[in-house]
């Protein structure tokens, strides 16, 4: 199914703001607040992502490019989040470098 030209897409900064607003990326201030069930749930999701990466690497090695492309194209939101994280890390590094530099 094709998207019409009238469809709107969420910008990277909007996505990042909504994630932060919903506390998806909130850092735990104290280890005491960690819910063991949440930790296990997150761990299982990360394992699933690792299996997906292994599968895609296997498919890529087997030259099943259309399959890999199809899966990757359906992960646009994931790549938007990855780009937001990388951008945030670059800004943080740049800011730390500027703080350490002498005027």
Model confidence pLDDT, tens digit, residues 26-66: 555 555 677 899 999 999 999 999 999 999 999 999 999 99
Which SS3 state, helix, strand or coil, does residue 26 take? coil
In a domain, 63, yes or no: yes
In a domain, 39, yes or no: yes
In a domain, 11, yes or no: no
In a domain, 71, yes or no: yes
CB-CB neighbours of 95 under 10 Å: 10
Q: Is the pTM of this model over 0.75?
A: no
pLDDT tens profile 58-81: 999 999 999 999 999 999 999 999
End-to-end CA distance of the chain: 55
In a domain, 28, yes or no: no
Per the structure, the complete domain to which residue 65 belongs is given by 35-84
CB-CB neighbours of 61 under 10 Å: 8
In a domain, 53, yes or no: yes
> Mean per-residue pLDDT for 83-91?
91
In a domain, 30, yes or no: no
The count of structural domains within the chain is 1
Residue 83's contacts (CB-CB under 8 Å, 6 or more residues apart) are: 12
């Amino acid at each position: 199914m094709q998207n019409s030209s009238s469809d709107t897409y969420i910008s990277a900064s909007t996505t990042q703001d909504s994630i932060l607003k919903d506390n998806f990326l909130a850092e735990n201030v104290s280890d005491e607040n960690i819910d063991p069930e949440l930790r296990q749930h997150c761990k299982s999701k990360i394992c699933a992502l690792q299996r997906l990466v292994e599968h895609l690497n296997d498919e890529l090695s087997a030259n099943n490019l259309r399959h890999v492309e199809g899966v990757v194209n359906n992960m646009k939101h994931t790549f938007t989040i990855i780009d937001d994280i990388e951008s945030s890390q670059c800004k943080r590094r740049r800011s730390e470098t500027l703080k350490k530099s002498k005027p």
